[in-house]
Amino acid sequence: MVAGLQGYRGNTLELLKKSGVSIGDLVEVKTTRMTVQGSLMPRYEHADEQHIVLKLKNGYNIGLQVNDILEIRWIAKSTSPAFKSPEAPKLDPQLPKVAILGTGGTIASRVDYRTGGVHPQFSAEELYLVVPEIAKYAQIHTELLFNVYSEHINADHWEKIAEKTAEMIRDSYDGIVIAHGTDTMGYSAAALSFALADTPIPIVLVGSQRSTDRPSSDAALNLIGAVTTAAKAPFSGVYVSMHHTIDDEAVALHIGARIRKNHTSRRDAFESIDTSPAAYVRNGELEVIHKDLPTKDKPQQSFKARYRFEKKVALVKFYPSFDPKIIDYLVDSGYRGIILEGTGLGHVSEQCYDSIAWATERGILVGMTSQCIWGRVRLTVYDTGRDLLRRGVIPLDDMFPETALVKMMWALGNTKTAEEAKTLMLQNIAGEFIARSPIERRPRD
Amino acid sequence: MVAGLQGYRGNTLELLKKSGVSIGDLVEVKTTRMTVQGSLMPRYEHADEQHIVLKLKNGYNIGLQVNDILEIRWIAKSTSPAFKSPEAPKLDPQLPKVAILGTGGTIASRVDYRTGGVHPQFSAEELYLVVPEIAKYAQIHTELLFNVYSEHINADHWEKIAEKTAEMIRDSYDGIVIAHGTDTMGYSAAALSFALADTPIPIVLVGSQRSTDRPSSDAALNLIGAVTTAAKAPFSGVYVSMHHTIDDEAVALHIGARIRKNHTSRRDAFESIDTSPAAYVRNGELEVIHKDLPTKDKPQQSFKARYRFEKKVALVKFYPSFDPKIIDYLVDSGYRGIILEGTGLGHVSEQCYDSIAWATERGILVGMTSQCIWGRVRLTVYDTGRDLLRRGVIPLDDMFPETALVKMMWALGNTKTAEEAKTLMLQNIAGEFIARSPIERRPRD
């Protein structure tokens, strides 16, 4: 028994021992309901004792109740070898130089079938093995900055990514890809959009909704879209590369400050808000949609990032019976900025007015966005909007809440006074404001 | 000067006086840029001194800078008479009995062109005048419960609406329409879905994104859809009646616990989340889409609402660098429930774990939803989800954050213990959980 029976306990462990099988082995399990074949998976530390887990041929895991099991039959030793780095392919020195930075998340990992462990795929050679197409478009350099689930990524991580990316821009890379977990990729894309505003090259965040061990994985196509864009886009700026639809038909390149994860699990979960994607990649070809994207003619060697983020900024969602004492608490706790996620055109109940005035009088920036997500805040339509304007609330037009939060953290982090930060909040730094048009259209119409 | 020059001040007031015009008069104004005709509108109390406002023939208001004005010419006295209640149409006593309850918002008001004031349209006669079609479908009884902007509506209002509606259910109405401002109509629809669960008749909330003085108003069509449904739907339950698309083609009847306002201003701003509308109304005809809607065969006289709402429940949206002390603050402030709006499948950073455990150990209900809005929370996919489960977090599946908040307020308000409330949270009370299907579909696909 090389791999042992990691994670199994109690009578389940006893049963497996008795059957003479090890983790990674191909086994057949007969239960009161069915007979299935699959590889025996290890168990997580906190999993219950009453199930064994098989990985089926189709890539899905199945848990089998130990009391239902009639028989476990060993069929074969694990056939998948431990993951080994292959040889690097021969590279064309004429190809653009692209860096892929790893931060964690599904796209940067591969489930090792033999151990069930997650293996970060982060030498260039390993990426070439899994997605060989990328070698056609670029000479890849890879670097793992950290490897965390994206729900744990915070402003400190943004600062590190921005600093490293700026260094690579000065180091003459043609484009940079940042692999990122999808949970907070929208926030990180906004953060880099501001921190790396005026980047002379394309920076592309990329993630995956399904891990590479699943037959429906979107990892390869999204990565190809990202590398293609980094290598040969005629524009600069910060983008997110994700599936355009649930099919493998195209990858959408979304503007970093206009992107939101709008579904928990679908491959096309990411949507550009109130605009279309900037471009698509189909069969390795880039189709540019937006006509006004930033150009690539700026000098790289002198590029400087503005990558500080103020952490004392809160995003507060309003709802009926919301207690304004929550705002008072933030004021008392030394917050420097608050983004309100109001209703409709940007409203909160009149019970909140005093607390808001108290905050702005103390120099705290209070910005208004809408929980509708689509559309724009307008505080001049109704009395209640004007009531908020007179109390110093900053209407943030069509910037949606998540981007507004990140921008306020950035604006306060890179200025000396609240007044300067407020001025930045109202400037269009990275396409976060969509130009007004007489008819508002959502991309899904 | 009957109506005077209400709201005008300073040199603007002087100019108007000098020109001999009054509010409501048809005037022609010549500026350095153009010449326009329109009715002189009154000014809001806090409006600036430097503009006069005309209502143009097309219904839109225009503000004219006083310094640009070359001449103001009086053309005619106001022609629109003060709003008078017309005669009630003859009613067919065979028609269903429908009550329309007013709570405020755009649909229940009409701008009086003569004074510019907002006139609540709330006798049945006045509604018949503006939307004569409704008299074909029902005998209408109207009642104005209150008249507030919906951003001010809170759980106390929900209790009043629910109590009154329950009374009318017992009073043998065939259906009840509730006119409501759109800002928080989704929250109120969820509140009534739970408070009036098992209603034997249809209850329909209706709003309008554009007021009735605008040529593009959606008020009439939405109201016709609501009254049609209240009068002749073969199903019971709580619904929201709003435009299905931006055209006047159909009204969608959304399930009250699955509806969200997803645009600040569009007429089709309301969308059913992760499901289709329950029904449509086209040309006065009801087309039922959902097959499993509740029936109408329950007795009305014995109907009882469960209409208490606990106000000490907070909706907390997670974001990168979120400070868990905000959770500690809620615990210390006596909150009984917290709905977290996590990322992706329902995650928050590990920095929050201790505060969450501290909350649940003290008997506070902590429910997890996703800020993705679409899709479902699943805490068994990743380690970080299981970390939350072990700390007592309740995964709320595909209930989206706003409905989850309202349901927790209701569950805690109508039970004696947190344990009972938790049980209610996981039961499907009003269609708030969508049945699982192998392929998740959004209505916009």
Residue B342 confidence (pLDDT) above 70: yes
Are A273 and A361 found together in one domain?
no
Flag if A188 and B320 touch (Cβ within 8 Å).
Answer: yes
pLDDT tens digits, residue range B408-425? 999 999 999 999 999 999
Could you tell me if residue A406 is inside a domain?
yes
Instruction: Select the residue of A152, A376, A386 nearest B349 (Cβ to Cβ).
Output: A152
Instruction: Select the residue of A265, A315, A374 nearest B319 (Cβ to Cβ).
Output: A315
* CB burial readout B32-71, b (16+ within 10 A) else e: eeeeeebbbbbbeeebeeebbbbbeeebeeeebebeebee
Tokens of A202: 């394309």
Neighbouring residues of B208: CB distance < 8 A, sequence distance ≥ 6:
B105, B106, B107, B182, B217, B218, B219, B222, B223
Q: How far is A161 from chain B (nearest CA, A)?
A: 14
Q: Give the integer Cα–Cα distance in Å for A166 and B416.
A: 57
- Which residue shows structure tokens 């009305």? B300
Are B264 and B130 found together in one domain?
yes
Instruction: Determine the pLDDT at residue B219.
Output: 82
Are B146 and B279 found together in one domain?
yes
Are B280 and B322 found together in one domain?
no
A61 touching B (Cβ < 8 Å): no
pLDDT > 70: percent of chain A: 86
Which range, A165-179, B57-71, B369-383, has the best average confidence (pLDDT)?
A: A165-179
Q: Phi, psi (5° rounding) for residue B194?
A: -80, -45
B44 touching A (Cβ < 8 Å): yes
B-chain residues within 8 Å CB-CB of A269?
372, 374-375
Residue A436 confidence (pLDDT) above 50: no
Residue B349 confidence (pLDDT) above 80: yes
Instruction: Determine the pLDDT at residue B381.
Output: 80
Q: Give the integer Cα–Cα distance in Å for B339 and B332.
A: 16
The distance between the two most distant Cα atoms of chain B, rounded to a whole number of Å, is: 76
A-chain residues within 8 Å CB-CB of B151?
342-344, 347-349, 384
Q: Give the integer Cα–Cα distance in Å for B186 and B265.
A: 15
Neighbouring residues of A423: CB distance < 8 A, sequence distance ≥ 6:
none
Calculate mean pLDDT across residues B17-37.
Answer: 87
Residue B231 confidence (pLDDT) above 90: yes
Residue B50 CA to its chain's centroid (Å): 35
B-chain residues within 8 Å CB-CB of A382?
149
Q: Give the integer Cα–Cα distance in Å for A306 and A415.
A: 10
B96 touching A (Cβ < 8 Å): no
Q: How far is A241 from chain B (nearest CA, A)?
A: 17
Flag if B154 and A349 touch (Cβ within 8 Å).
Answer: yes
Calculate mean pLDDT across residues B313-320.
Answer: 98
Instruction: Determine the pLDDT at residue A83.
Output: 41
Are A318 and A392 found together in one domain?
yes
Min mean pLDDT across A333-337, A401-405, B133-137, B341-345 is at B133-137
DSSP A382-413: SHHHHHHHHTT-EE-TT--HHHHHHHHHHHHH
Instruction: Determine the pLDDT at residue A445.
Output: 32
A148 touching B (Cβ < 8 Å): no
Tokens of A397: 């037009």
The distance between the two most distant Cα atoms of chain A, rounded to a whole number of Å, is: 76
Are B268 and B378 found together in one domain?
no
pLDDT tens digits, residue range B172-194? 999 999 999 999 999 999 999 99
Residue B207 confidence (pLDDT) above 60: yes
CB pairs under 8 A between A and B: 190
A219 close to A111: Cβ distance less than 8 angstroms: no
Neighbouring residues of B422: CB distance < 8 A, sequence distance ≥ 6:
B365, B394, B411
Domain count, chain B: 3
B263 close to B167: Cβ distance less than 8 angstroms: no
Instruction: Determine the pLDDT at residue A45.
Output: 46
Test mutation, B151, B271, B412, chain A, max A CBs within 10 A: B151
Q: Residue B86 — left, alpha, or beta (φ > 0 → left; ψ -120 to 50 → alpha)? A: beta
ipTM over 0.90 threshold: no
User: Does residue A324 or residue B24 have the better pLDDT?
Assistant: A324
Calculate mean pLDDT across residues B385-413.
Answer: 97
Q: Give the integer Cα–Cα distance in Å for A301 and A171.
A: 7
Could you tell me if residue A334 is inside a domain?
yes
Are B274 and B377 found together in one domain?
no
pLDDT > 90: percent of chain B: 61
Instruction: Determine the pLDDT at residue B165.
Output: 98
Sorting pLDDT into bands at 50, 70 and 90, what band is A66? confident
Flag if A320 and B155 touch (Cβ within 8 Å).
Answer: yes
Q: How far is CA B308 from CA B157, B336, B408, B429, in A?
A: 11, 14, 11, 15
Could you tell me if residue B82 is inside a domain?
no
Could you tell me if residue A295 is inside a domain?
no
Flag if B320 and A187 touch (Cβ within 8 Å).
Answer: yes
Are B319 and B198 found together in one domain?
no
Closest residue in B to A330 (Cα–Cα): B326
Flag if A321 and B333 touch (Cβ within 8 Å).
Answer: no
Residue B59 CA to its chain's centroid (Å): 24
What one-letter code names the amino acid at A199? T
Give the CB-side neighbour count of residue A99, counting CA atoms within 13 A: 23
Interface of A with B in 327-356 (CB under 8 A): 329-330, 333, 341-351
Instruction: Select the residue of A262, A321, A326 nearest B154 (Cβ to Cβ).
Output: A321
Min mean pLDDT across A86-90, A132-136, B66-70, B200-204 is at A86-90
Q: Give the integer Cα–Cα distance in Å for A297 and A307.
A: 22
Residue A120 confidence (pLDDT) above 90: no
pLDDT tens digits, residue range A138-197? 999 988 898 888 999 999 999 999 999 999 999 999 999 999 999 999 999 999 999 999
Tokens of B372: 């993705």
Flag if A263 and B374 touch (Cβ within 8 Å).
Answer: yes
Test mutation, A343, A387, A408, A439, chain B, max B CBs within 10 A: A343
Closest residue in A to B155 (Cα–Cα): A321
Q: Give the integer Cα–Cα distance in Å for B62 and B389.
A: 56
A188 touching B (Cβ < 8 Å): yes
Closest residue in B to A370 (Cα–Cα): B264
Could you tell me if residue B360 is inside a domain?
yes
Test mutation, A147, A211, A270, A321, chain B, max B CBs within 10 A: A321
Sorting pLDDT into bands at 50, 70 and 90, what band is A442? very low
Could you tell me if residue B443 is inside a domain?
no
Are A265 and A330 found together in one domain?
no
A436 touching B (Cβ < 8 Å): no
Test mutation, B214, B343, B352, chain A, max A CBs within 10 A: B343
The CATH number of whichever domain residue A334 belongs to comes to 3.40.50.40
Sorting pLDDT into bands at 50, 70 and 90, what band is A48? low
Q: Give the integer Cα–Cα distance in Å for B374 and B100.
A: 32
pLDDT > 70: percent of chain B: 86
Flag if B150 and A321 touch (Cβ within 8 Å).
Answer: no
Instruction: Determine the pLDDT at residue B9.
Output: 80
Closest residue in B to A346 (Cα–Cα): B264
Tokens of B237: 């339950």
The residues of A that are catalytic are 106, 182-183, 261
Could you tell me if residue A181 is inside a domain?
yes
What one-letter code names the amino acid at A96? P
Instruction: Determine the pLDDT at residue A130.
Output: 72
Are A376 and A422 found together in one domain?
yes
Are B72 and B101 found together in one domain?
no
pLDDT tens digits, residue range A389-430? 999 999 999 999 999 999 999 999 999 999 999 999 999 999
A83 close to A130: Cβ distance less than 8 angstroms: no
pLDDT tens digits, residue range A16-46? 988 989 888 889 999 887 888 888 877 654 4
Instruction: Determine the pLDDT at residue A257.
Output: 97
The residues of B that are catalytic are 106, 182-183, 261
Q: Give the integer Cα–Cα distance in Å for B231 and A106.
A: 52
Dihedral angle computed from the Cα positions of residues B11, B12, B18 and B19, in that order, rounded to the nearest 10 degrees: 160
Would you tell me how many other CB atoms lie within 10 Å of the CB of residue B234? 11
B-chain residues within 8 Å CB-CB of A378?
264-265
Mean pLDDT computed over every residue of chain B: 87
Flag if B440 and A329 touch (Cβ within 8 Å).
Answer: no
Q: How far is B232 from chain A (nearest CA, A)?
A: 31
Q: How far is B375 from chain A (nearest CA, A)?
A: 5
User: Does residue B83 or residue B143 have the better pLDDT?
Assistant: B143
Q: How far is B284 from chain A (nearest CA, A)?
A: 26
Flag if A323 and B314 touch (Cβ within 8 Å).
Answer: yes
Are B203 and B72 found together in one domain?
no
Give the CB-side neighbour count of residue A387, counting CA atoms within 13 A: 15
Flag if A183 and B382 touch (Cβ within 8 Å).
Answer: no
Flag if B349 and A154 touch (Cβ within 8 Å).
Answer: yes
Residue B397 CA to its chain's centroid (Å): 24
B145 touching A (Cβ < 8 Å): no
* pTM of the complete model: 0.81
Tokens of B177: 């329409």
Test mutation, B153, B183, B259, chain A, max A CBs within 10 A: B183
Could you tell me if residue A298 is inside a domain?
no
A281 close to A227: Cβ distance less than 8 angstroms: no
Mean pLDDT computed over every residue of chain A: 87
* CB burial readout A235-260, b (16+ within 10 A) else e: bbbbbbbbbbebeeebbbbbbbbbbb
pLDDT tens digits, residue range B286-308? 999 998 899 999 999 999 999 99
Closest residue in A to B403 (Cα–Cα): A319
Neighbouring residues of B250: CB distance < 8 A, sequence distance ≥ 6:
B243, B244, B280, B281, B282
- Which residue shows structure tokens 């069969």? A283
A-chain residues within 8 Å CB-CB of B377?
264
Q: Give the integer Cα–Cα distance in Å for A373 and B139.
A: 39
Domain coverage including residue B144: 97-288
Instruction: Determine the pLDDT at residue A105.
Output: 67
Strand partners, B260: B271
Sorting pLDDT into bands at 50, 70 and 90, what band is B215? low
Flag if A377 and B266 touch (Cβ within 8 Å).
Answer: no
Instruction: Determine the pLDDT at residue A85.
Output: 44
Q: Give the integer Cα–Cα distance in Å for B155 and B136.
A: 35
A-chain residues within 8 Å CB-CB of B314?
323, 326
A102 close to A179: Cβ distance less than 8 angstroms: yes
DSSP A15-73: HHHHHT--TT-EEEEEESS-EEEEEEPP--TTS-TTEEEEE-TTS-EEEEEGGGEEEEE
Residue A265 confidence (pLDDT) above 60: yes
